[in-house]
Amino acid sequence: MKLRSLLFLAAAAQTLASPAAETKDDALNAWFAKPAADRGAPPSGPPLSRAASDALLPSLISAARSGATAAGLDKLLPAPASLESLRSNPPAAPLRPGTIKTMGFEMPFILLAKGEKPKDGWPLFLCLHGGGGNDKATGPHAWDVNSREWQAQVALFERVYSPAGIYFIPRMADDRKGRWYFDHNQDAFDKVIRAAIAFLDVNPDRVCMLGISEGGYGAIRFAGNRPDRFAATNGMAAAEPLDTSPTENMRNVALRIDIGENDTMFDRVGLARRMGDSLTDLHRKDPAGYDFLVNIQKGRGHGIDYAPGPQWIASKTRNPWPDRVVWTVRPFDRSVALQNYWLALPAAPATMPLRLSAAIKNNTVTLSAETDSPDGTSRIPASSGRILIRLNDHLADLDQPVTVILNGKPRPPVKATRSLATMALTMAERGDPRLCFPAEISVDLATP
C-alpha cells in the first residue's frame, strides 16, 4: 500500500478515536437504540471518502449490535447445544426449546451446532419441518404431526445433515394456520438472522434455508421472494408453482430441489420439473446467474434421501453485490419486501407486480422498470414511484459520476455521495454489514 494511503488510514483511525468520533458513535448508538418507528432521520455528517466510509463500518456494526440489544435480540438465541452434548448419555445439556414472539404468535425452536467454526464465521441453517396446517387443532401447538416432524429435524441434524454450522430448528407458530411463508414466520426468521449475525458470529454470506415437504415449499418460496437473505435454499420432497416462487428472482441465490420421481401427489414432481425448465431457460439467457439443481431421485416417492441437499447448499456463498439484480416486486403473504441486494423502494409500489432488472458495469446502471398493461396482455414502462440504487466502491467508482439508463433512456450523470446517513439507514434495514451501503441514487420513474 502506498505511503499516502497508509497516512490517510492512520488519520481516519485517529479521527475515529477522537472525542468528536465518540460523539458520533454516541449519536449512532442512541439512534439505533430507538424502535425503528421512532428513530427519525439518522445522524448525518459531511460527505465521506472511501477510506472514511470503510473506517466507519465498525462503528455502524457496533451501533447496530447495541440497537439489537435494546430490542432484546441478544436474548433471543441461547448458546447452541453441541452435537456431542446431544449424543452423550445422559445428555450433557438437555434440549430446552426457546420461544420467539412474532406478531402475536409464539414460535418454539431448538438451536444446535456441529463442527468447527470457520475463520469467517458460522454458517447458519434454518431447518423447516414438514406437516403444515390443521384448522381443527385445539391449540397453536397441539397437532402431533407437526410435533413429530419438528423432532424429526433434530434427528436429521444428528444423523444425516453433515455440514458444520449452527442449525435453527423452529416449530410452526400456529398449527391451525400452518405455512412457513406467512408474515409472522418471515418476521421470526428476520429476527433470527439479525440476532445470529450480531451475537453468534454467523457469516451473513452463508445463511441457508432447507426444509422437507411443507418445509420444502417454504424453502423454495423464500428463494423466490427473499433471495438476498440467503446463500442457498434446499426444498426436499417439495415443489412450488412458478407464480408463487418467481424463478426470475432467483438469479443470485442458489436453489436445489430434491424430489422422488414417484412423488406425484399435488403434482409435486411435475412442478419441480417445470421449475427446473424455467431456471434452465433463464440460465441459458444469463449464464452468470441461476445456480440450481433439480435432483429427481429414481424409484423414490415422498420419502427421499435427505443427505445430499444440505451438503450442496453448504458449499454456496452469497454474493451481496451481484452485477445484476432481477426483482419482481409483489406481496409475499401480505408484506412487500422493500430491499433486494442493492435495489430498494421507499414504499410498496402502487401497482404490482413491478418488474425490475438492473445491471451495473463501468459506472453505468442499466435499469428497466415495467408493470403489466391494464388488460394484462403485455408489459409497459412503469411511470410512477421511485427506485433507490444503493452503491458501494465494489459496485462502482464513487469518486466518478454514475449514469443511469432507465428503460433505454440515459439520465444525466450524477455523483453518488458517500454519507453516514445512508450507511446508518441501510445497516438498520437488515442488520447485515454486507448490505450496508454508503451511497444511493434515487430514480424517479415519473421523470421523462
Are 93 and 179 in contact by the 8 Å Cβ rule? The answer is: no
Indicate whether 66 belongs to any domain.
Answer: yes
Last residue of a domain, one of 73, 105, 121: 73
Q: What is the spatial distance between Cα 203 and Cα 318, in angstroms, rounded to a whole number?
A: 10
pLDDT tens by residue, 102-125: 999 999 999 999 999 999 999 999
Q: What is the spatial distance between Cα 250 and Cα 238, in angstroms, rounded to a whole number?
A: 17
Instruction: Read off the pLDDT band of 92 (50, 70, 90).
Output: low
Domain identity same for 139 and 33: no
Give the amino acid at 191.
K
Domain identity same for 283 and 416: no
Tell me the residue range of the domain where 67 lies: 3-73
Are 299 and 234 in contact by the 8 Å Cβ rule? The answer is: no
Domain identity same for 126 and 270: yes
Number of structural domains (the chain) is: 3
Q: What is the pLDDT of residue 8?
A: 34
Q: Is the pLDDT of residue 360 over 50?
A: yes
In which residue are the cell numbers 420419502 written?
Answer: 303
Domain identity same for 292 and 363: no
Q: Is the pLDDT of residue 91 over 80?
A: no
Q: Is the pLDDT of residue 9 over 90?
A: no
pLDDT tens by residue, 140-186: 999 999 999 999 999 999 999 999 999 999 999 999 999 999 999 99
Domain identity same for 67 and 188: no
Last residue of a domain, one of 43, 73, 103: 73
Q: What is the pLDDT of residue 338?
A: 98
| CATH label of the domain that carries residue 206 | 3.40.50.1820
Q: What is the spatial distance between Cα 357 and Cα 339, in angstroms, rounded to a whole number?
A: 13
Instruction: Read off the pLDDT band of 90 (50, 70, 90).
Output: low
Domain identity same for 356 and 266: no
Is the preceding omega at residue 42 within 30 degrees of 0, hence cis?
Answer: no
Indicate whether 120 belongs to any domain.
Answer: yes
Domain identity same for 114 and 237: yes
Domain identity same for 137 and 260: yes
Are 421 and 41 in contact by the 8 Å Cβ rule? The answer is: yes
The mean per-residue pLDDT over the stretch 300-321 comes to: 98
Indicate whether 333 belongs to any domain.
Answer: yes
Indicate whether 340 belongs to any domain.
Answer: yes
Are 175 and 134 in contact by the 8 Å Cβ rule? The answer is: yes
Last residue of a domain, one of 314, 346, 373: 314
Domain identity same for 236 and 136: yes
Q: Is the pLDDT of residue 247 over 90?
A: yes
pLDDT tens by residue, 195-242: 999 999 999 999 999 999 999 999 999 999 999 999 999 999 999 999
Q: What is the pLDDT of residue 13?
A: 39
Instruction: Read off the pLDDT band of 24 (50, 70, 90).
Output: confident
Question: φ and ψ at 328, to 5 degrees?
Answer: -90, 110
Domain identity same for 210 and 277: yes
Indicate whether 319 belongs to any domain.
Answer: no
Q: What is the spatial distance between Cα 416 and Cα 401, in angstroms, rounded to a whole number?
A: 7
Q: What is the spatial distance between Cα 394 and Cα 372, in angstroms, rounded to a whole number?
A: 33
Domain identity same for 179 and 31: no
pLDDT tens by residue, 265-279: 999 999 999 999 999
How much is the pTM?
Answer: 0.93
Q: What is the pLDDT of residue 447?
A: 79
Indicate whether 386 belongs to any domain.
Answer: yes
The mean per-residue pLDDT over the stretch 3-23 comes to: 39
Q: What is the pLDDT of residue 96?
A: 79
Domain identity same for 177 and 253: yes
On average, the pLDDT of the chain sits at: 93
Indicate whether 272 belongs to any domain.
Answer: yes
Q: Is the pLDDT of residue 325 over 70?
A: yes
